[in-house]
């Protein structure tokens, strides 16, 4: 799958594909693997860098000099946008949800260190923030700037294309290591763009892998609508209309969100400890810890221990420090 989309390179090679031998043995799962998109090269890494390669490629192609994006004050996407934009020589304005920014720690601290201009907007939700970003863009244009708006989570057809190429990367790595296809891939789902890109890739290669998307934000039905909407948007962008739906064998779960988005859950925190102690790998309390908790629960419920399973690590480490009080044992 090759397209002529301009790409601003942020990742210099494949992210590691590694076995989780200790955790697999603990769970009685014959083949358990992890794809390390937390090991990406800027500012503590994470999945947003794959989207940003194509989003910044587009911004530079259009001659923009300012990136405007937003999210919650502890957004991983915001942090990685500033880091990537700095590398590309672009300024960043961040529009945050809510009336106040909260404590300057975790991602917000990193945003400050990276030098973004920060706004507490009083707006909420993806659409509310997009409206504020448009106002800021008008204001910037009046100052003679050329702004480029990136919606919350970097999920646009162009951004999500970064996860189509990630799918092809996994297929290539798997074949190099002479591994058969994974039966199931578990991944955290926020806006849904990451899963949308992966699922479009899977549809294009017709690989018999089933996705297990663990929502950390919205209910199952809404999550499914969003993932399918992003898949259609993406397929239009790459002119591949046939690949644009989740398969009936894919599944989305919303029972691992816990109390709400952005608040750690006891099961997620337990999953963080389990992986850390078994493998020395850290997941975060807001996305990947909850996704891992979902995977552990689903695997505990199946009798079939011969499945080949992959956990797609999407990053988020700075949130460990933001939520120290929830994670620490005194």
Active site residues: 75
Are 245 and 228 contacting, i.e. CB atoms less than 8 angstroms apart? Answer: yes
Q: Which residue, 58 or 155, is less far from ligand PLP as judged by CB? A: 155
CA 2, 8, 14 angle in degrees (round to 5)?
65
Q: Which residue, 190 or 294, is less far from ligand PLP as judged by CB? A: 190
CA atoms within 13 A on the CB side of 210: 11
Closest CA to 103 of 329, 330, 328, 319: 319
Are 43 and 78 contacting, i.e. CB atoms less than 8 angstroms apart? Answer: no
Please give the DSSP secondary-structure letter assigned to residue 305: T
What number of H helices and E strands is found in the chain?
12, 10
CA atoms within 13 A on the CB side of 105: 9
Are 193 and 154 contacting, i.e. CB atoms less than 8 angstroms apart? Answer: yes
Q: How far is the CB of 330 from ligand PLP (least distance, A)?
A: 27
Q: How far is the CB of 252 from ligand PLP (least distance, A)?
A: 11
Q: Residue numbers of the site for ligand PLP (CB under 6 A)?
A: 46-48, 76-77, 153, 155, 188-194, 284, 287-288, 314-316
Q: Which residue, 157 or 316, is less far from ligand PLP as judged by CB? A: 316
Q: How far is the CB of 315 from ligand PLP (least distance, A)?
A: 4
Q: How far is the CB of 284 from ligand PLP (least distance, A)?
A: 6
Q: Which residue, 133 or 140, is less far from ligand PLP as judged by CB? A: 133
Are 186 and 312 contacting, i.e. CB atoms less than 8 angstroms apart? Answer: yes
CA 148, 51, 257 angle in degrees (round to 5)?
110
Cβ neighbours of residue 160 under 8 Å, at least 6 residues apart?
51, 193, 194, 196, 197, 200, 230, 233, 234
Residue 169, SS3 per DSSP: helix
Closest CA to 108 of 94, 122, 98, 121: 94
Q: Which residue, 140 or 201, is less far from ligand PLP as judged by CB? A: 201
Are 69 and 153 contacting, i.e. CB atoms less than 8 angstroms apart? Answer: no
Q: How far is the CB of 321 from ligand PLP (least distance, A)?
A: 14
Q: Which residue, 83 or 140, is less far from ligand PLP as judged by CB? A: 83
Please give the DSSP secondary-structure letter assigned to residue 36: E
Q: How far is the CB of 151 from ligand PLP (least distance, A)?
A: 10
């Amino acid at each position: 799958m090759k397209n002529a989309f301009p790409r601003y390179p942020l990742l210099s090679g494949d992210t590691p594909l590694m076995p989780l031998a200790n955790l697999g043995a603990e769970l009685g799962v014959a083949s358990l693997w992890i794809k390390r998109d937390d090991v990406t090269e800027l500012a503590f890494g994470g999945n947003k860098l794959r989207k940003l390669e194509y989003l910044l490629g587009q911004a530079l192609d259009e001659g923009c000099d300012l990136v405007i994006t937003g999210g919650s004050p502890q957004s991983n996407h915001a942090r990685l946008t500033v880091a990537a934009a700095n590398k590309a020589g672009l300024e960043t304005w961040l529009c945050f949800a809510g009336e106040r920014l909260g404590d300057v720690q975790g991602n917000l601290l990193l945003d400050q260190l990276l030098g973004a201009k920060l706004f507490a907007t009083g707006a909420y939700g993806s659409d509310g923030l997009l409206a504020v970003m448009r106002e800021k863009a008008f204001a910037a244009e009046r100052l003679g700037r050329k702004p480029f708006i990136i919606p919350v989570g970097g999920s646009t057809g162009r951004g999500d294309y970064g996860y189509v190429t990630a799918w092809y990367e996994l297929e290539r790595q798997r074949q190099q290591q002479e591994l058969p296809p994974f039966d199931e891939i578990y991944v955290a789902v926020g806006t849904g763009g990451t899963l949308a890109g992966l699922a479009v890739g899977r549809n294009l290669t017709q690989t018999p892998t089933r996705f297990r998307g663990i929502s950390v934000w919205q209910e199952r039905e809404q999550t499914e609508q969003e993932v399918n909407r992003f898949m259609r948007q993406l397929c239009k962008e790459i002119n591949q209309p046939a690949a644009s739906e989740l398969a009936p064998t894919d599944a989305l779960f919303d029972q691992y969100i816990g109390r709400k988005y952005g608040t750690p859950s006891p099961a997620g925190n337990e999953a963080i400890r389990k992986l850390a102690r078994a493998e020395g790998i850290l997941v975060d309390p807001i996305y990947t810890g909850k996704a891992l908790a979902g995977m552990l629960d689903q695997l505990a419920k199946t009798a079939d221990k011969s499945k080949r399973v992959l956990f797609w690590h999407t990053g988020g480490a700075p949130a460990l420090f933001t939520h120290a009080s929830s994670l620490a044992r005194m």
